[in-house]
Structure 1
């Protein structure tokens, strides 16, 4: 589905993403981890079209996406969330989903919107002002709901669990597991909590200074000396 080949993103003299080659399919739930500044969000921005890569290739179902605008990538099946929730102001929760759905699919399907609202437990808040009347957990759920409304086959989730207390994080993580099965969507999630990643993901990818240094099962990756060094700065004894 998604294929990155030797992808790099540079900002002046800074190389934020450095020659990353990676493939993700609809069957995958991938944890994308790394220290702060490793290039994780920049990689998401390059895939979704928010920044232009300096070199390399991005393909989705074999189609070249390097020059495709954001709306085209959404229509092709790439949805994403942002670390800081970005509800559309002065719109209700339902209207946020309607706008997202029209952006991603070119049409509005009220039944699909109702299904997503129920799945994300936002059906009781559907007519509330999205920007002013939702708690943090609900704002995080709205980010996921908006992405789902675009009818994606790949979801890029940028620290969607950040800031949630333990019970809320556990509930949200269970929703994400169900989401993968119910909507047949591949997931790549940025998350700093190693326990959460190990419980949620069957595969983990590690970036360090923009370079991909590990790709494998959680158990293998988090025992990798190069990964341990990237987090601690010291060799594993």
Structure 2
């Protein structure tokens, strides 16, 4: 479904992502992990169209998407959330979903929006001011709901569980599994909590200083010496 080939992203003299290669199949749940500054969000930005790579190729559903604007990538089936929730100010929860759905599909389907509101337990907050009246868990739910409103085939979730307490995190993980299984959506998720990745993901890819240093099953990858060193900092002492 998604193929990244030799992607390099530079900002001036800084190489944020360095010749990264990996593939992701439909219905997979893949964790993208690594220390702060490893290049995870930058890679997300390249996939979703916020950043143009310096070199390399990204294909989705067999199509080269590097020159596609963001809305075309969304309509092709790429949805994403952001690490810091970004509700549209002055709009209600429902209106946020309307804008997202129109951006991703070109149309508005009220029935599907109602289903999303209920799925994400936001139906009672549909008329609330999204930027003012939602708790953190609800803002996270709205971020995922906006991504789902675009009717994606693949979700890019950037630390969607960050800041949630233990019970909230467990409920959110269960919800993500339900979404993935019921809708057949592939999920690529950035997450720092290794336990979460172990429980949620089929595969894990590890970035360190912009390079992909491991790709495989979570229980195998997190035992690799190079991965352990990347988290402790010993590899660059």
Report what 1:9 is aligned to.
9
Once the two structures are TM-superposed, the CA of residue 73 in structure 1 deviates from its matched residue by 0.5
Give, in whole Å, the separation in 1 of the partners of 2:194 and 2:56: 30
Report what 2:88 is aligned to.
88
- For residues 135-174 of structure 1, what are the structure 2 equivalents within 5 Å? 135-174=135-174
Report what 2:180 is aligned to.
180
Report what 2:19 is aligned to.
19
Report what 2:101 is aligned to.
101
Normalised TM-score (structure 2): 0.98
Once the two structures are TM-superposed, the CA of residue 202 in structure 1 deviates from its matched residue by 1.2
Tell me, which stretches of 5 or more residues in structure 1 are unaligned?
none
Report what 1:56 is aligned to.
56
Once the two structures are TM-superposed, the CA of residue 234 in structure 1 deviates from its matched residue by 3.1
- For residues 74-85 of structure 1, what are the structure 2 equivalents within 5 Å? 74-85=74-85
Once the two structures are TM-superposed, the CA of residue 49 in structure 1 deviates from its matched residue by 0.3
SS of corresponding position for 2:151:
coil
Once the two structures are TM-superposed, the CA of residue 233 in structure 1 deviates from its matched residue by 2.6
Normalised TM-score (structure 1): 0.98
Range with bigger deviation, 226-235 or 140-149? 226-235
Deviations for 1:179-211, whole angstroms, at most 9, x for unmatched residues?
Answer: 101221000000000001101111100000010
Give, in whole Å, the separation in 2 of the partners of 1:42 and 1:14: 12
Moved beyond 4 Å, runs of 4+:
none
Give, in whole Å, the separation in 2 of the partners of 1:44 and 1:178: 23
Tell me, which stretches of 5 or more residues in structure 2 are unaligned?
none
Give, in whole Å, the separation in 2 of the partners of 1:181 and 1:125: 26
Q: Does 1:115 align with 2:125?
A: no
